[in-house]
């Protein structure tokens, strides 16, 4: 079935094997902002979202180092001057993404009325764990406890999705909703070489007409500093990203109150969109995903177009309350 209005083109197969409608997406192309696909008993497709106010709100930006027994953590805490009833947002950055890279992007999310926190993970020392991902998850919880924040909505980006889900398994009471942006672990296992190639291809895409090199140069410089600060740890992190099983982590949240949605870029070269679809299809009813958002763009889209992508995040967070308790992504009878 194709919608041939020039905005949305969807090719899907419907299989009547049970009371559910089972859908396999083959290709999605669109010109509008957002496509929302709900895998429930009916199909919902939304090509537009209600954007945040275009004007920038006044905000307080606090950057400091928090001291713990195992070392210091660089933290950014952005607070809108006008108080809001919304839960704070914990933004878990991806591999090599630092506060310097992401600060401008996060300010757009504050314009939507949220207090936003993020951090730089330690390159030397830190909490001792059997894996780098567990270490980062513990750092996230340490920040929430230090700030005396009872509960947050979390946004994970790339590798940060794994960190957030691990933290949610350790202390589920700290999290209400989680949005995963272009998550790692849904195309695993991957080779480090292929993952690095896709990362570089997506990195080259960070440019636009007004500013062709500034954003790309900034992230390249921050990535180089990130790697050189601890090359051994950097390789371990990439290797864990390449072999992470996000489905296993999602299964671990089945018995909790936490709701999860996914935003993924269709043209992503780091974590291939088609491979993600295949992985989720195989997982079937073993996992619960409230909403899956297919977004036109590459892996670093949120840095290239910060306003647009923060609108996606704000929409996903606000849309949680409108959903039923839990919905399955694919029907279990479609697993082959």
Strands (E), 130-224: 152-157, 175-181
- At 219 the pLDDT is 84
Q: Where are the domains of the chain?
A: 46-334
Residue 321 pLDDT exceeds 90? no
- The C-alpha atoms of residue 156 and residue 163 are separated, in whole angstroms, by 8
How high is the mean pLDDT of the chain? 78
Q: For 77-90, what is each residue's pLDDT tens digit? A: 999 988 888 899 99
Mapped onto helix, strand or coil, the DSSP state of residue 37 is strand
- At 210 the pLDDT is 56
Asked if 264 contacts 302 with a C-beta cutoff of 8 angstroms, the reply is no
Residue 1 pLDDT exceeds 80? no
Residue 166 pLDDT exceeds 70? yes
Residue 162 pLDDT exceeds 80? yes
Tracing tokens 């027994």 back to the chain, one arrives at: 69
- The C-alpha atoms of residue 150 and residue 63 are separated, in whole angstroms, by 21
Residue 136 pLDDT exceeds 90? yes
Q: For 255-281, what is each residue's pLDDT tens digit? A: 888 999 999 999 999 999 989 988 888
- At 333 the pLDDT is 34
Residue 54 CB: number of other CB atoms within 10 A? 7
Tracing tokens 């691990």 back to the chain, one arrives at: 166
- The C-alpha atoms of residue 245 and residue 102 are separated, in whole angstroms, by 26
Residue 35 pLDDT exceeds 50? no
What's domain 46-334's architecture? 3-Layer(aba) Sandwich (3.40)
Predicted model pTM: 0.80
Of residues 178 and 303, the one with the higher pLDDT is 178
Tell me how many degrees the CA angle 119-146-153 measures, rounded to the nearest 5.
60
Residue 66 to residues 8, 91, 168, 316: CA-CA distances in angstroms?
Answer: 47, 17, 21, 30
Strand order in the sheet with 175-181: 45-46, 35-37, 291-295, 259-265, 175-181, 152-157, 89-92, 116-120, 71-80, 59-68
Q: Residue 328 class from Cβ within 10 Å (0-12 exposed, 13-18 middle, 19+ buried)? A: middle
Which of 39-43, 45-49, 66-70, 223-227 bottoms out in mean pLDDT, i.e. has the lowest?
39-43
CA-wise closest residue to 268 among 240, 295, 241: 295
- At 160 the pLDDT is 94
- The C-alpha atoms of residue 111 and residue 281 are separated, in whole angstroms, by 36
| Section 89-100 average pLDDT | 93
- At 320 the pLDDT is 84
Residue 181 pLDDT exceeds 90? yes
| Section 137-146 average pLDDT | 94
pLDDT band at 148 (very low <50, low <70, confident <90, very high): very high
Residue 126 pLDDT exceeds 50? yes
Which of 15-29, 128-142, 273-287 bottoms out in mean pLDDT, i.e. has the lowest?
15-29
Cis amide prior to 189 (ω within 30 degrees): yes
Q: For 188-243, what is each residue's pLDDT tens digit? A: 788 888 988 988 888 887 765 455 567 778 888 888 899 998 899 999 999 999 99
- At 141 the pLDDT is 95
């Amino acid at each position: 079935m194709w919608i041939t209005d020039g905005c949305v083109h969807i090719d899907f197969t419907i299989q009547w094997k049970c009371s559910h409608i089972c859908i396999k997406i083959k290709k999605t192309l669109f010109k509008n902002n957002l496509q929302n696909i709900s895998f429930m008993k009916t199909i919902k497709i939304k090509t537009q979202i209600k954007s945040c106010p275009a004007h920038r709100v006044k905000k307080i930006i606090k950057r400091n180092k928090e001291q713990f027994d195992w070392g210091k953590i660089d933290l950014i805490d952005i607070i809108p001057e006008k108080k809001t009833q919304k839960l704070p947002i914990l933004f878990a950055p991806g591999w090599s993404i630092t506060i310097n890279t992401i600060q401008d992007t996060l300010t757009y999310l504050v314009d939507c009325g949220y207090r936003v926190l993020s951090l730089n993970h330690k390159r030397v020392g830190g909490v001792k764990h059997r894996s780098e991902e567990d270490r980062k998850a513990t750092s996230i919880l340490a920040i929430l406890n230090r700030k005396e924040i009872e509960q947050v909505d979390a946004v994970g980006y790339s590798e940060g999705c794994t960190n957030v889900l691990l933290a949610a398994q350790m202390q589920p009471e700290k999290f209400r909703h989680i949005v995963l942006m272009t998550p790692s672990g849904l195309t695993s296992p991957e080779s480090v070489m292929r993952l690095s190639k896709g990362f570089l291809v997506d990195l080259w895409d960070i440019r636009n007409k007004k500013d062709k090199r500034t954003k790309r140069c900034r992230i390249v410089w921050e990535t180089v500093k990130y790697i050189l600060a601890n090359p051994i740890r950097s390789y371990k992190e990439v290797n864990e990203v390449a072999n992470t099983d996000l489905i296993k982590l999602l299964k671990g949240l089945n018995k909790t109150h936490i709701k999860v949605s996914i935003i993924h870029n269709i043209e992503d070269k780091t974590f291939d969109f088609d491979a993600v679809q295949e992985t989720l299809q195989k997982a079937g009813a073993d996992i619960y995903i409230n909403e899956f958002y297919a977004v036109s763009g590459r892996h670093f889209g949120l840095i290239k177009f910060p306003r647009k992508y923060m609108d996606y995040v704000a929409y996903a967070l606000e849309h949680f309350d409108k959903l039923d308790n839990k919905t399955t992504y694919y029907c279990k009878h479609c697993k082959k």
